[in-house]
A and B are shown apart, each in its own frame.
Chain A
Amino acid sequence: MLRVRDLVSSYGKLDVLRGISLDAAEGRITCLLGPNGAGKTTTLFTIAGILSARSGSVLLNGEDLTRLPAPKVVSRGIALVPENRLVFPRMNVEENLRAGAYARRASAAEIAADIADLYRRFPRLEARRDQFAGTLSGGEQQMLAIARGLMARPRILLMDEPSVGLAPLIVDEIFRIIQELNAEGVTILLVEQNARMALTVAHKFYLIEGGEITFSGSPGELEEDEVIRRAYLGAQKE
């Protein structure tokens, strides 16, 4: 599905990718774990076209997206659920969802149908459909951000740290939603620092440290404590 090869890119002076390769298989949850500043967000931004790659390639079902600007990438089927949710605070829930469908150029009827589907999926959002997004709780905002991402009808959903700043109970709920969405057929590339939670949902995971992939495999191939330690601290350099 999504194939990333030898991606080199940078975000600011610190966050530098030195040739990342990873695959996200259709219908699976792929996780990218690593400490702060290792290049997780940079990877997502480069895939999404927000940052431009210096070299390497991003392929989605064989189509090369590497040089496309962000609006084109979204319309090719890659949607990003950003860190800290970034909902539009003074637009109501429904308008936030409409904004998510912006790149699709779908008819009003199609969009209305998708919104209705998502309301069935997230009843709490329907209850608050006319409320400003800024007045929702953190967990609800995260749901809205996910739903907004789904409105683009992506082939793959990129999620950046969905657990950040949420209470443990809410985190559990969000991860349950992620798993349910995946069971319904959504392909997900998940970036997380909360490795313990991520490992409970991942089919496959990558460790990124210092802008390089240092491990790839399925949960269980590496001892959980080792993953968690490296996801927080990075590999201890000998």
Chain B
Amino acid sequence: MIDFVQNTVDGIMFGSSYALLAIGFTIVFGVLRRINLAFGASIMLGAYAGTWLHVHYQVNVLVVALTTLVCTVLAGIYVERLCFRAIRRDAALASMVSSFVIWMQLEEAAVHLLPERTYAFPSFFVAGSFELGPFLFRGEQTTMLVLAALMVGALHLLLRHTRFGLALRAVSESPRAAAYMGIDTAWVMLCAFALVSLVGGVAGFAILATDEQITPFFGLWATFKGLIAMMLGGMGSLPGAVLGGLLLGVIEAHAQWYLGNEYKDLSAYLLLFAMLVLRPGGILGQRIHGREALAFRRV
């Protein structure tokens, strides 16, 4: 029982970073009705740029964080211009494939920057480890959870209570009607990309600082965890993304503990597949499933 609770706690803590990645996918999907497969790769390139400074100039961890964020946002804008803005509105498939080849491109660029298989990533945590009854709360994970909660709170405020948030939600609901209100939809889409890149950059930095290392597989990993978490929660829904991320974290923690390391990813995919077959809209957002499906039907 104690193990179960401890696993659940660990899962939620790590799942909070999945939630941030899922938010990145869900916001872009909301605004564009498209999937940005290059999301993980742009975070990876940003993190590689930060690591590069760290390796060659031993800059401190805050500079690494800042570089990661700035470069992730720049990579995100590059992806938006090339794979989404430039491609015709009705060509959703072309956008997706384009973001895939740009993923490969960014990944190779990152590997040219730092060709070894693994690099140390500076660690960063504010909270120390502490015990609460029989349970252990590790410092870096607590930091991640707090960071994620702050990000989600900030995003919520941004989306609900600012002019930009209103515009972003209006574009997600109906780009046409938003344009009639005088909202510059193209600008909103670009800002949405910059925003999710920022969120992704924070998530990436937090994850890497916890792992204290970075490998070229990070892009793939981040894209998949984010996609799975989004689908589990329900596409286009912010609470869904958070819930999906936490659920994914918990499932993986339990599977790893009770079944072993090789079952960790397998159980996540099994859950996703079962969810899609039995309840395609995810935990939240069953109602919108039909509409999204329609929107995506013409590939």
| Chain A interface residues toward B at CB < 8 A | 48, 50, 69-75, 80, 82, 86-91, 95, 98-100, 102-103, 148, 152
Contacts and interface: CB of A to CB of B under 8 A. Distances in A.
27 contacts: A48-B180, A50-B179, A50-B180, A69-B184, A70-B182, A71-B184, A74-B181, A75-B182, A86-B174, A86-B176, A86-B177, A86-B180, A88-B177, A89-B173, A91-B169, A91-B170, A91-B173, A95-B166, A95-B169, A98-B166, A99-B166, A99-B167, A99-B170, A102-B167, A102-B181, A102-B183, A103-B183
A71 B179 CA distance: 7
Q: Which of B173, B183, B184 has the most CB of A within 10 A?
A: B173
Given A88-B169, A88-B174, A91-B169, A99 B179 contact: no
A87 B176 CA distance: 10
Interface of B: 163, 166-167, 169-170, 173-174, 176-184, 288
Contacts of A102: 163, 166-167, 170, 181-183
A88 B180 contact: no
Contacts of A48: 180
Most buried by A among B178, B179, B288: B179
A207 B28 CA distance: 44
B183 A71 contact: yes
A75 B178 CA distance: 14
A90 B166 CA distance: 12
B177 A70 contact: no
Contacts of A90: 173, 288
Contacts of A91: 169-170, 173
Given A88-B170, A88-B174, A152-B182, 19 more contacts: A50-B180, A69-B184, A70-B180, A71-B183, A71-B184, A75-B182, A86-B177, A88-B177, A89-B173, A90-B173, A99-B166, A99-B170, A99-B178, A102-B166, A102-B170, A102-B181, A102-B183, A103-B183, A148-B181
Given A88-B173, A89-B173, A70 B179 contact: yes
Given A86-B176, A102-B163, A152 B181 contact: yes
A102 B176 CA distance: 15
B292 to A, nearest CB: 12
Contacts of B288: 90
Contact of B177 (A74, A82, A95): A82
A90 B128 CA distance: 42
B264 to A, nearest CB: 35
Nearest to A74: B182
A148 B173 CA distance: 15
A82 B181 CA distance: 10
Contacts of B181: 74, 99-100, 102-103, 148, 152
A80 B180 contact: yes
A89 B173 CA distance: 7
Closest 10 CB pairs of A and B: A74-B182, A103-B182, A88-B173, A86-B177, A71-B182, A99-B170, A80-B180, A71-B184, A102-B181, A99-B181
A91 to B, nearest CB: 6
A114 to B, nearest CB: 14
B219 to A, nearest CB: 32
Nearest to B291: A89
Contacts of B182: 70-75, 102-103, 152
B177 to A, nearest CB: 4
Nearest to B178: A99
A152 to B, nearest CB: 7
